[in-house]
Amino acid sequence: MPTMADVARSAGVSVATVSHVLNGTRPVLPHTRQAVLDAVEALGYTPNGLARSLVTSRTRSIGLAVSAISNPYFTEILQGVESAALEAGYGLLIADPHDDPRHERKVVQLLHERRVDGMIVAPSAHPHDLVGYLRRHAVPTVFLDRVIDAGVTDGGIADGGAPAGEGPASGAGAEAGPPLDAPCFDQAPCFDQVCAESAEPTARLVAHLAGLGHRRIGLVAGLPGLSTTGERIAGYRAGLAAAGLGHDERLLVSGNSEAAGAERATAALLALPEPPTALVTANNAMTIGALRSLRRHGLAVPDDIALCCFDDFAWADLFSPRLTAIAQPSRELGARAVRVLLDRLAEPHRPARTVRLPCAFVHRTSCGCPEGPVPGEDAGPVGPSTLPEKGTAS
């Protein structure tokens, strides 16, 4: 195989100059740079990534730990991460933590041992060990989709009509490592974070259903402990309050972010003395479970019960009726997480930041509306500054 010395001889430059061109470690005159690149192409030279990493202490690789990779939402996030990483010249090592805190800690350590330059992680509901490990080893990390922040609660969720699920009551309480009263947790996030808006879009779904005359609106919420679960519950409650509707705790159930859990939770809602006339599901997997349960009970959407869902997916408009949904910018979330991580690698001591991207309200017919736009509704992005007044979360 041709070596760097071969490239240097062919280009008429030093080995050090070839190294600077290939690694971008020093500016090189344009004609010299082109001569090196021409020699690389003519000789078919392939840089030795291992040797380069020993010199630069960088492997130009990113570790990605995301659960439920088979979920279309996370698949699209993965595509965004991969595309942005490749564009920046980084490879990707992928692991699935399975939303299991112990497995999560293990796979992140394995990625770290492969000497990735940084990590993008969708944390579990209880990332105690994960956060402790990342802190101890000062691993440049971006939390993706789920954030670790103070003030997000998910208390009071029934699991299919049973008592509330186990675990801490907030996204901030889910992590441990150092004490929870450390400044990192009560003032600002310890890590960079990239996520979509959750509270305001959920409030918008509730406001839309309330505007159609529904007074008993149920929510099939996600796994307790996740920030997305807490924020969507907060949006649900805010939407009810903005519409002047009382909150019946029995209408808030946990589907544990999975189809089977949502099927059980929906059945529990339908068994109430006064079941809901409309339903909001908090992710795409739970939408599938809810639809199964409704079909099993012989209920038609939207004739018998209206349905809106958080997460749009490719076949949402192939259902009959077509699903009214909140669409998250999944690919952009993945790409933005890469860019935020690269900023962190370039400036290790910059202040941590949380980036929130707006979602879009996709109006179809499962809510009970006819085809086409709804008067007074804006199908544009849904974020803190774009939510209609009646659905604004507090």
Domain ranges across the chain: 4-56, 61-152+164-194+330-356, 197-328+359-391
CA distance 310 to 316: 11
> What phi and psi, each to the nearest 5 degrees, are found at residue 256?
55, 25
| pLDDT at residue 64 in the model | 96
Report pLDDT for 14: 93
Q: Enumerate residue ranges in the chain where pLDDT < 50.
A: 54, 150-155, 160-189, 385-394
Residue 68 confidence (pLDDT):
72
Q: Do domains 4-56 and 61-152+164-194+330-356 have the same CATH topology?
A: no
**Residue 330 to residue 31: CA distance in whole angstroms:** 41
Cα separation, 392 vs 375, in Å, equals 19
User: Helix or strand or coil: residue 166?
Assistant: coil
Q: In this structure, are residues 124 and 67 in contact, taking their beta carbons and an 8 Å threshold?
A: yes
Calpha distance 69→67 (Å, rounded)? 6
Dist CA 304 CA 294 (whole Å):
9
Chain-centre distance for alpha carbon 260: 21
- DSSP calls for 327-379: EP-HHHHHHHHHHHHHHHHH-TTSPP-EEEE-EEEE--STTSPPSSPPTT---
CATH code 1.10.260.40 for 4-56? yes
Phi/psi for 351 (5° steps) reads -60, 145
The domain defined by 61-152+164-194+330-356 carries CATH number 3.40.50.2300: yes
Q: Which fold has domain 197-328+359-391?
A: Rossmann fold (3.40.50)
Q: Measure the CA–CA gap between 341 and 345, rounded to whole angstroms.
A: 6
φ, ψ of residue 120 to 5 degrees: the values are -120, 120
d(CA 43, CA 284): 50
Q: Residue 23: its pLDDT value, please?
A: 74
* Position 243, amino acid: A
Strand order in the sheet with 141-144: 91-95, 61-65, 118-121, 141-144, 192-196, 354-357
The contacts found for 104-112 with CB under 8 angstroms, 24 or more apart, are 104/65, 104/129, 104/130, 105/129, 105/130, 105/133, 107/65, 108/63, 108/65, 108/133, 108/134, 108/139, 109/133, 111/63, 111/65, 112/63, 112/137, 112/139
Q: Where are the beta strands (DSSP E) in the chain?
A: 61-65, 91-95, 118-121, 141-144, 158-159, 162-164, 192-196, 217-221, 252-254, 278-281, 306-310, 324-327, 354-357, 359-362, 381-382
pTM assigned to the model: 0.77
Cα gap 167→223, rounded to integer Å = 10
- 141-144 and 217-221 beta bridge pairing: unpaired
pLDDT of residue 165: 30
